[in-house]
Structure 1
Amino acid sequence: MSTPAVYMPTRRRTLQALALAGGAWAGIAHAQPGARRVVALGGSITEVVYALGAQAQLVATDTTSLFPEAAQRTPKVGYLRQLAAEGLLALRPDAVVGTSDAGPPVVLEHLRSAGVRVELVHADHTWDEVRRKIETVGAVLGRPEAARALWQQADAEWAAVRRQVAQARHRPRVLFILSHTGTPQVAGTGTAAHALIGFAGGVPALSGFEGYRPMTAEALARAAPDVVLCTTQGIDALGGAARLWQRPELALTPAYAQRALVALDANHLLGFGPRLPGAVREVHQRLQTLAATAQTASGGLGTHA
């Protein structure tokens, strides 16, 4: 008796099965053998490595890789935007995987010229970015099946939180303030913060420019945010939440009246990794609570279109 065809799938059947199981995951069929020595650039990339249980293949990370806690004890190659080829090559990596923010480009080209596999995931602050990160890391590490399972779990969580957000009663105006160093800046379009606010059911208070700009009283008066969103690291850099509210730029905003503040860890909030559904859920729940409280007090918050 001949062996049933189901046990000897053709390449077409294999790709079709992968496509049905995970859409773009068909590309995993072309994954190269797993690299034994990998450098991860970017906190979300490092999170995926640990989520896949592949930390034994990790020889170093960048300074933004702080989760899980074990990642803080890995050798560091510096900030992902300010890499040095010599330090990276000294680690003898088989592969370097990061986001498109990594650089400078000349360093990455130096690595490629030295025979190091360099894989960069385009960061566009979408849910598909998370899929690409999981898929790419899984391919580099030679763990496509584990990556597919991680994606399926994350995607199910994402679908659940999106349903929760869709049922929200309030849509407060939210302003993200970046205050890790120097003059506080506010987020416009094209930023992870802008995308996160929308995912969480808020209305971005500023959208007339791209990237970040210094925080000014004029800009905040126009924005009229109901809630301020920050990272916990940013709040610490300012000296605490009380110091934030002492800034005169915030004094005339609706958020100031209620001291409406939401703060999460920077990697969790803006990393766009496997924990993104949890970050969106947490921000969404806090926004709804603040909006409901303020509406009770003033009768006006949380009704923005």
Structure 2
Amino acid sequence: MTFFQILRSFRAPIGGIFAAALAVSAQAEEEPNRIVAVGGAITEIVFALGEEDRLVARDTTSNHPEAARELPDIGYIRRLSPEGILSVDPDLIISLEGAGPPEAMDILQEAAIPVVEIPEGFTGDAVVAKITAVSEALGVPEKGAALSEKVSNDLAKAKAATAGLEEKRVLFILSLANGRVMAAGQNSSAQGIIELAGAVNAASGFEGYKPITEEAILASNADVILLMERSGPMGITNEQIFSNPALAATPAGQNNAVVRLDGMMMLGFSVRTAEAVTSLATALNQAGS
């Protein structure tokens, strides 16, 4: 029994210091209603749970659904602005694992703002675990259980689209600047979605996102080049891709096989992951044909 519950169990009038303690404890036990979501996956889950009215800010990666963009932006997940967060007077921060920098998190800790860190992961089980953790942080576990069941069913249905892709080799390119190809290796969100779609990550021998050599590109023997759908200066055109001799020499280059998907949907590992699996598998089946 909590201190608040013990105080409430008294039938006699409570005054003085006990009344003050009761008020403080009652406030502490209230569900947080000024929440900052850090990480696009977290924000999508909060909206999917129907708890978006409790959000007062979000980070830059939180670009879906469209309504999330109307919230104040407190910076990129790895470069958060503690001042921006403090300015919205939050009573809870729900953050994807890896938010920072550490100095910003130290300031928030000194300000005594509760922070719930949600583990990252790039599997279907990881998506369900995120939903469960976020729903518990929000105090709505029943909603979390219902959403988890729906997402699990959606992921199971999405598997039907992945048939026949076991030999398809996919090279995910994060960026292409000054001739340097930044690709996705093991333990990356890109590898996770490629494997969920039934295909093979063509890059190997390194973890995360790193520049790879022309020799490594040729050795990848990639059937398809996979990119985030971007416009403007961040966008990568087919012409830019295949002006790289090594990329042009791959099966993907010879067949002009390039697939682009919404970055957050593809790499966020949240409530839209089943949609990402179906879209990617369908596109991979069509690429180069």
The TM-score by the shorter chain falls in which range?
0.7 to 0.9
Q: Is residue 83 from structure 1 mapped to residue 76 from structure 2 by the alignment? A: no
How far did 1:173 drift?
0.6
Alpha-carbon distance in 2 for matches of 1:223, 1:181: 20
- SS of the counterpart of 1:162? helix
Report deviation, 1:114: 2.0
Q: Which amino acid aligns with 2:66?
A: E
CA contact (8 A) 2:166 2:200 kept: no
**2:165, 2:191 → 1: CA distance?**
20
Residue of 87, 94, 116 corresponding to 1:97: 94
RMSD of Structure 2 on Structure 1 (CA): 2.1
- 1:40 — aligned with what? 37
Q: Is the 8 A contact 1:100 1:123 kept in 2?
A: yes
Taking only the aligned residue pairs, the percentage that are identical comes to: 38
Matched-pair contact (CA < 8 Å) for 1:94–1:116: yes
Deviation at 1:253, TM superposition (A): 0.6
Contact 1:34 1:140 in 2 (8 A): no
Paired residue secondary structure (1:67): coil
Amino acid at match of 1:257: Q
Residues 241 and 248, structure 2, Cα contact 8 Å, conserved in 1: no
The match for 1:171 is 167
Alignment partners' CA distance in 2, 1:274 and 1:104: 26
User: Which 4+ residue blocks in structure 1 deviate beyond 3 angstroms?
Assistant: 180-184
Match of 2:129 among 123, 132, 140: 132
Query: Which 5+ residue runs of structure 1 have no aligned equivalent?
Result: 1-31, 294-305
Specify the SS of the correspondent of 1:206. coil
- Is the 1:221–1:252 contact (alpha carbons within 8 Å) kept by the matching residues of 2? yes
| CA–CA separation in structure 2 for the residues paired with 1:239 and 1:193 | 17
Does structure 1 conserve the Cα–Cα contact (< 8 Å) formed by 2:224 and 2:252? yes
- Taking the aligned partners of 1:286 and 1:137, their CA distance within structure 2 comes to 31
Q: What secondary structure is seen at the aligned counterpart in 1 of 2:127? A: helix
- 1:161 paired with 2:155, answer no
- The offset of 1:91, in angstroms, is 1.3
Larger Rg: 2
> Partner amino acid for 1:108?
M
- Aligned partners of 2:43 and 2:153: how far apart in 1? 21
What is the deviation of 1:279?
Answer: 0.3
Equivalent pairs, count: 260
In structure 2, the residue matched to 1:22 is none
Matched with 2:142 is 145
Asked if 2 retains the 8 angstrom alpha-carbon contact of 1:180 and 1:233, the reply is no
Partner of 1:9: none
- Deviations 1:102-134, CA, capped at 9 Å, x for gaps: 112332233233221111111131222212221
Please say if 1:232 is aligned against 2:236: no
Q: Aligned partners of 2:31 and 2:123: how far apart in 1?
A: 27
**Cα distance in 2 between the residues matched to 1:270 and 1:47:** 13
